[in-house]
Amino acid sequence: MGGEDVVYLGDSARVPYGTKSAETVRRFATEDLAFLLKYDPKLVVVACNTASAAAFDVLRAVCPAELVDVIRPGAAAACRHASGPIGVIGTEATIESGAYQRAIAEIDPGREVVVRACPLLVPIVEEGRDQRDPIVLSVLTDYLREMQRRRPVAIILGCTHYPLLADAIGKVMGPEVKLISSAAAAAAEAQRRLTMTGAVSPRAAGGRLRCFSTDSPQRFRRLGEARFIGGARTIDEVCPVGTDELETAGKELIETDGSAPRESPKRAGQ
Amino acid sequence: MGGEDVVYLGDSARVPYGTKSAETVRRFATEDLAFLLKYDPKLVVVACNTASAAAFDVLRAVCPAELVDVIRPGAAAACRHASGPIGVIGTEATIESGAYQRAIAEIDPGREVVVRACPLLVPIVEEGRDQRDPIVLSVLTDYLREMQRRRPVAIILGCTHYPLLADAIGKVMGPEVKLISSAAAAAAEAQRRLTMTGAVSPRAAGGRLRCFSTDSPQRFRRLGEARFIGGARTIDEVCPVGTDELETAGKELIETDGSAPRESPKRAGQ
């Protein structure tokens, strides 16, 4: 979808969300959405498993645009892959929320699900450790011990950071276990929705990627380009945004929404 | 100092500070101080190494009460202990700031200092891993390899969380290396300042500990009592406080301070 313009908000000053209470995550996610809505998007991706798990229903209720989470697309991809147990790894908040367990039960009631919270994996990725580092492998072996015993047919990498450890996770689990990236599944779902609503950009390439960060833009660009984006896109610009600005946007959105329930104007005609 | 009333603010919704830019840490720390000043404290402890490293000068300029950081007391204790190299471990932000290196150079110019950022130790403590866990020991061995080679006489545990790993750090470094807790050194400095200014509470016990948390109070109490406080104190109450309230307090403090430089009214006469 290289022709699409993307506005990306990274709440770097308040991350990680995965170790915080559901109430706080819901508040932060609502503020983040309120900020993005100022850019009048045709579709919003809640590109964080923790926010998707804790806040999707709240966001759905106030978002006039198409809204894609990163939980249900990954759950559906895992169910389609093969019958047998599905493994899910994620942050503490994602696993404790039970969101993946519920999403899989809705798609395929009775499917066996094995879950494991892996709190050290995000800091390991952000530290920049190589996947062949013995510490990475021993932490994964520790987290995945029970998962190995239960022999899932697929494991959902239920956190944005985990695909960066896919080789190491594959090494620990063995080649017969399919690794499902929640990010890739969500991107495919976003494309499907835009296609369905006739909202795909006519350009094949040349879309702009504008980023906003609540912490240092320099740091955001460095980490983003080095660790996450690869060669897929160029970051056209990174602008600072204050958390106070997010809080104000959040309050305005809640007040507006409270006064007049809306009919999701962007959903039908675009 | 069991007779002292303590008001404690934990900015749980925005932690960790140690992976964020100095500018963001300064803003958060100023807001935190502004909130605490509403309780008219006789002394404020900046009980976070990252905030002490990035923000102490900024806080000093706007704080009318005695202000104790956690960097310089630990640096002084290490210098007093013995001659020879001093090791410092801390978060990325603390180590990169150079604050310990500067504090030691001021006390004992020319003293050799060996530093190492240890980003995984905070999440390891918060995950609740036992100090005898093989992963804890292999992570520490990895971080402290160069430190072992340089044979420091003392290591400053330059982060609030590290004393909870003191046994494991001692095991990796050996019994001849003195471990210095920045927290214990700062508490001793706070006592010294209160004594100097005649502001020690006449009670020997019975002080109240009131806590405020920007994330879930339940979670704060659970982690606080289980992992940090031990039996030393009872948490009398934990109240929620919004990050928006901190931001407002921060703005008011900066505006007040800009309009009329003050003479640190609490410093002399108490």
Which of the residues B63, B79, B118, B159 is marked catalytic? Answer: B159
Cis amide linkage into residue A202, ω under 30° from 0: no
Looking at A125-129, A249-253, B259-263, which range is the least confident one? B259-263
pLDDT in tens, B131-169: 999 999 999 999 999 999 999 999 999 998 999 999 999
- B119 contact residues in A (CB cutoff 8 A): 123, 126-127
pLDDT of residue A266: 45
d(C-alpha B55, C-alpha B46), whole Å: 9
- A215 contact residues in B (CB cutoff 8 A): 20-21, 24
Looking at A170-174, A211-215, B223-227, which range is the least confident one? B223-227
pLDDT in tens, A84-127: 999 999 999 999 999 999 999 999 999 999 999 999 999 999 89
| Residue A51 pLDDT > 60 | yes
**Closest to A246 (Cα-Cα) out of A207, A270, A213, A269:** A213
| Residue B238 pLDDT > 90 | yes
Is A123 within a domain? yes
Query: Is A48 one of the catalytic residues?
Result: yes
Is A142 within 8 Å of B135 when comparing Cβ atoms? yes
pLDDT of residue B265: 42
Domains held by chain B: number: 1
Q: What is the average pLDDT score of chain A?
A: 92
Is B190 within a domain? no
Give mean pLDDT, residues B108-121: 97
pLDDT of residue B258: 56
Is B120 within 8 Å of A142 when comparing Cβ atoms? no
Is A205 within a domain? no
| Residue A265 pLDDT > 80 | no
Percent of chain A residues topping a pLDDT of 70: 94
Query: Is A159 one of the catalytic residues?
Result: yes
Give mean pLDDT, residues B2-30: 95
Most confident stretch, A213-222, B37-46, B231-240: B37-46
Of A120, A122, A216, the CB nearest to B24: A216
Strands laid side by side in the A6-10 sheet: A6-10, A209-213, A237-240
Angstroms from A48 CA to nearest CA on chain B: 17
Q: Which residue has the higher pLDDT, B32 or B261?
A: B32
Is B127 within 8 Å of A119 when comparing Cβ atoms? yes
| Residue B45 pLDDT > 50 | yes
Looking at A147-151, A258-262, B176-180, B181-185, which range is the least confident one? A258-262
Of A13, A19, A28, the CB nearest to B20: A13
**Residues A86, A114 contacting (CB under 8 angstroms):** yes
From the number of C-beta atoms within 10 Å of its C-beta (0-12, 13-18, 19+), residue A102 rates as middle
Percent of chain B residues topping a pLDDT of 90: 84
Is A127 within 8 Å of B139 when comparing Cβ atoms? no
pLDDT of residue B267: 39
Is B132 within a domain? yes
Q: At B256, is the pLDDT very low, low, confident or very high (cuts 50, 70, 90)?
A: confident
pLDDT of residue B224: 82
**Closest to B55 (Cα-Cα) out of B8, B1, B94:** B94
Of B13, B119, B134, the CB nearest to A127: B119
Q: Which residue is closest to A214 within chain B, CA to CA?
A: B24
Is A19 within 8 Å of B126 when comparing Cβ atoms? yes
Is B118 within a domain? yes
Q: Which residue is closest to B15 within chain A, CA to CA?
A: A14
Is B174 within a domain? yes
Give mean pLDDT, residues B193-216: 95
d(C-alpha A181, C-alpha A189), whole Å: 13
Which of the residues A63, A118, A159, A211 is marked catalytic? Answer: A159
Q: At A228, is the pLDDT very low, low, confident or very high (cuts 50, 70, 90)?
A: confident
Q: Which residue is closest to B250 within chain A, CA to CA?
A: A244
The CA-based angle A24-A28-A31, given to 5 degrees, is: 145
| Residue B262 pLDDT > 70 | no
Q: At A219, is the pLDDT very low, low, confident or very high (cuts 50, 70, 90)?
A: confident
Percent of chain A residues topping a pLDDT of 90: 84
pLDDT of residue A203: 95
CATH number at residue A134: 3.40.50.1860
A202: its two tokens = 């006519």
Is B252 within a domain? no
Q: At B255, is the pLDDT very low, low, confident or very high (cuts 50, 70, 90)?
A: confident
Between chain A and chain B, the number of residue pairs with CB atoms below 8 A apart is 65
Is A107 within a domain? yes
Q: Which residue is closest to B128 within chain A, CA to CA?
A: A119
Residues near B63 by beta carbon (within 8 Å), at least 6 away in sequence: B33, B37, B44, B264
| Residue A138 pLDDT > 90 | yes
Is A14 within 8 Å of B13 when comparing Cβ atoms? yes
Ramachandran sector of residue A112 (left: φ over 0; alpha: ψ -120 to 50; beta: rest): beta
pLDDT of residue A258: 56
Q: ipTM for the complex?
A: 0.86
Q: What is the average pLDDT score of chain B?
A: 92
Looking at A144-148, A252-256, B117-121, which range is the least confident one? A252-256
Q: Which residue has the tokens 């990169």?
A: B96
pLDDT of residue A213: 97
Query: What is the domain range of residue B162?
Result: 72-184
Is A139 within 8 Å of B134 when comparing Cβ atoms? no
| Residue B260 pLDDT > 80 | no
Contacts of B202-205 spanning 24+ positions with Cβ under 8 A: B202/B3, B203/B2, B203/B3, B204/B2, B204/B3, B205/B2, B205/B3
- DSSP states along B178-216: EEEEHHHHHHHHHHHHHHHTT---S-SS---EEEEESS-
Identify residues of A whose CB sits under 8 angstroms from chain B CBs: 12-14, 19-21, 23-24, 28, 119-120, 122-124, 126-127, 134-135, 138-139, 142, 214-216, 219, 243-244, 247
| Residue A140 pLDDT > 90 | yes
Looking at B173-182, B195-204, B228-237, which range is the least confident one? B228-237
- B214 contact residues in A (CB cutoff 8 A): 24
